[in-house]
Amino acid sequence: MSTSPLNEQQVADFQQDGYLFVENLLDAEEVNLLQTAARADARMRESAMTIADTSGRSTNLSLWNHPGDDVYGMVARSERVVGSMEQLLGDEVYHYHSKMSAKEPKVGGAWEWHQDYGYWYQNGCLWPDMASLFLAVDTCTRENGCLQVLRGSHLLGRIEHGTFGEQTGADPEHVAEAAKRLELVYCEMAAGTGLYFHSNLLHRSDANESDQPRWGLICCYNTKHNDPYKQAHHPGYTPLEKVPHEAIKQMGAVGSAAAQEFLRQEDDETTG
């Protein structure tokens, strides 16, 4: 019997669509631990950057490079999470960075259409052999600004990016033409659902118009063979120490004060 987290059809779907939903990646207890840690995390709040959209609404973004011995690190280092990413990308992966995107009710901003590789390319990564896991800390709906993706857009290759407001976004002309040909998918997700997505997948999100928060933990990975050729604000290859998925519950609701050093710096990166 295979011990791989994903089956062949899931890997094939990711290669075709550029993304893959995994329901119940975290169970109810694990979701509660992550929510509790994040909501009570003073260091997370203090380190958060405020990223404005083109209408002036803002999202709080906390970003860190190295996974530690806290609940966020246990998620990012989970054998289930990392093993799935290695199946999808076909190589050993390492932790490129993680971030918490917090869209608060009524004020959380939108994100422009973009590809993550649109700016990771500038960090010296030659190949787009990179991907992210968006983990729904809260239930994600159209009303509170869930991710939107263009199915199969990762096959377009890297699109030029520019600055819109305080965010980096993909060339609007190319996006408009792609949107005529590719299916728009609203990524409505229950808390605990994971969305794996390719670094060239076009994605965006609307502002949070609801009375409910929309927080998401995004764990980003690079492949060992894609070690950047130059130094940048995210790390080069360092072996990732995996932990059993059960380590999330064993760690409990321990936030960043235990181990993480958050980065408070100007960054051109966006996330849904």
The pLDDT of 129-143, averaged and rounded, is 98
Q: Which residue has the higher pLDDT, 45 or 91?
A: 91
Q: What is the CATH number of the domain that holds 177?
A: 2.60.120.620
Residue ranges making up the domain that contains 177:
8-225
Q: Which residues pair with 133 in a beta bridge?
A: 196, 219
The pLDDT of 207-226, averaged and rounded, is 96
Q: CA nearest 20: which of 92, 78, 84?
A: 84
Residue 56 lies inside a defined structural domain of this protein: yes
Q: Which pLDDT value is given to residue 265?
A: 44
Q: What is the mean pLDDT of the chain?
A: 90
Q: Is residue 264's pLDDT more than 80?
A: no
Q: Across 69-73, 152-156, 262-266, which has the greatest mean pLDDT? A: 152-156
Residue 12 lies inside a defined structural domain of this protein: yes
Band (pLDDT 50/70/90 cuts) for residue 263 is very low
Residue 65 exposure: Cα atoms within 13 Å on the Cβ side: 11
Band (pLDDT 50/70/90 cuts) for residue 262 is very low
Residue 231 lies inside a defined structural domain of this protein: no
Q: Which pLDDT value is given to residue 165?
A: 58
30: Cβ contacts below 8 Å, ≥ 6 apart: 192, 248, 249
The pLDDT of 25-53, averaged and rounded, is 87
> How far apart (Å, rounded) are the C-alpha atoms in residues 153 and 179?
9
The pLDDT of 19-47, averaged and rounded, is 91
Residue 29 lies inside a defined structural domain of this protein: yes
The pLDDT of 80-90, averaged and rounded, is 98
Q: Is residue 235's pLDDT more than 80?
A: yes
Q: Which pLDDT value is given to residue 167?
A: 58
Q: Which pLDDT value is given to residue 68?
A: 87
> How far apart (Å, rounded) are the C-alpha atoms in residues 216 and 272?
9
Q: Is pTM, for the whole model, over 0.85? A: yes
Residue 242 lies inside a defined structural domain of this protein: no
Residue 244 lies inside a defined structural domain of this protein: no
> How far apart (Å, rounded) are the C-alpha atoms in residues 106 and 121?
34
Measure Cα distances from 221 to 17, 88, 98, 145, 167 in Å: 19, 11, 9, 24, 21
Q: Is residue 215's pLDDT more than 50?
A: yes
Q: Which pLDDT value is given to residue 50?
A: 80
Residue 12 phi, psi dihedral angles, 5° rounding: -65, -40
Measure Cα distances from 204 to 31, 108, 201, 207 in Å: 24, 13, 10, 10
Band (pLDDT 50/70/90 cuts) for residue 244 is very high
- How many domains does the chain divide into? 1
Residue 245 lies inside a defined structural domain of this protein: no
Residue 232 lies inside a defined structural domain of this protein: no
Encode pLDDT of 137-185 as tens digits: 999 999 999 999 999 999 999 999 987 655 569 999 999 999 999 999 9
